[in-house]
């Protein structure tokens, strides 16, 4: 019973997360670096909570770490190129990496 409740809670949490994290870019527009960063930061907080809870495998951790590192490197370069202006539009490569990371995070049960 306890395991079933835990699995149900995890499933509900994952479903809610997919609803709230539909993607990093608003339909028909380009988000700012600030919005992209906030979306990823929020998703990573939830991922870290799940990892602490013990529901993330070593393979999933490796996937997330690689995707996050690629995103963070691209984000830092874009932030520097924008002269530290978080209101600048998010470049396409950063958006693509952020979306890839969100897909990986969303696929973790």
**pLDDT 10s per residue in the chain (109 long)?**
555 545 554 544 554 454 444 444 444 468 999 999 999 999 999 999 999 988 899 999 999 999 999 999 999 999 999 999 999 999 999 999 999 999 999 998 8
53 by DSSP, 3-state: which? helix
For 26, which DSSP code? -
Structural contact between residues 43 and 98, judged by C-beta atoms closer than 8 angstroms: no
pLDDT of 7 reads 53
- Beta-carbon-side half-sphere exposure of residue 54 (alpha carbons within 13 Å): 2
pLDDT of 4 reads 52
pTM over 0.85: no
């Amino acid at each position: 019973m306890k395991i079933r409740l835990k699995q149900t809670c995890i499933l509900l949490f994952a479903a809610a997360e997919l609803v709230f994290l539909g993607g990093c870019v608003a339909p028909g527009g380009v988000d700012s670096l600030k919005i992209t960063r906030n979306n990823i930061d929020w998703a990573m907080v939830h991922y870290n909570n799940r990892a602490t809870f013990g529901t993330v495998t070593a393979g999933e951790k490796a996937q997330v770490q690689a995707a996050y590192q690629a995103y963070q490197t691209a984000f830092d370069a874009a932030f520097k190129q924008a002269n530290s202006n978080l209101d600048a539009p998010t470049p396409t490569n950063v958006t693509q990496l952020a979306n890839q990371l969100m897909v990986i995070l969303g696929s973790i049960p």
